Amino acid sequence: MGKRGDRNMDNILTVDQKAKVENRVKDSKFVGHIKSVEEKSQAKKFIDDIKEQYNKASHNVSAFKLGIKDEALKYSDDDGEPAGSSGPPVLQAIEGENLTNTVVVVTRYFGGTKLGIGGLIRAYGDTARKVIKKSGIKKLQPVYKLRILGSYDIIGGMLSQVESVRGKILSTEYTNHGGQVYFLLPCDKYDILKEKLIEVTGNEVEIEKVKKMYI
Domain boundaries, the chain: 4-140, 142-214
Q: Where are the beta strands (DSSP E) in the chain?
A: 12-15, 19-25, 28-36, 59-66, 73-77, 102-109, 137-140, 142-150, 168-174, 179-186, 206-214
For the segment 156-181, the average pLDDT, to the nearest whole number, is 91
Across 7-21, 23-37, 161-175, the highest mean pLDDT is recorded for 23-37
Task: Tell me the pTM.
Answer: 0.78
- Under CATH, which number does the domain 4-140 receive? 3.30.230.30
180 pairs with which residues across the strands? Answer: 149, 173
Question: Quick one: pLDDT band at residue 214, thresholds 50, 70, 90?
Answer: confident
Q: How far, in Å, CA of 95 to CA of 66, rounded?
A: 11
Structure confidence at residue 71 as a pLDDT band (50, 70, 90): confident
> Does pLDDT of 3 surpass 50?
no
Q: Does domain 142-214 have CATH number 3.40.50.300?
A: no
Secondary structure of residue 30 in the 3-state scheme = strand
d(CA 185, CA 39): 18
Confidence at residue 70, expressed as pLDDT on a 0 to 100 scale: 85
Q: What is the pLDDT of residues 152-163, one digit of tens each?
A: 989 989 999 999
Q: What integer best gives the mean pLDDT of the chain?
A: 92
Q: What is the pLDDT of residue 175?
A: 84
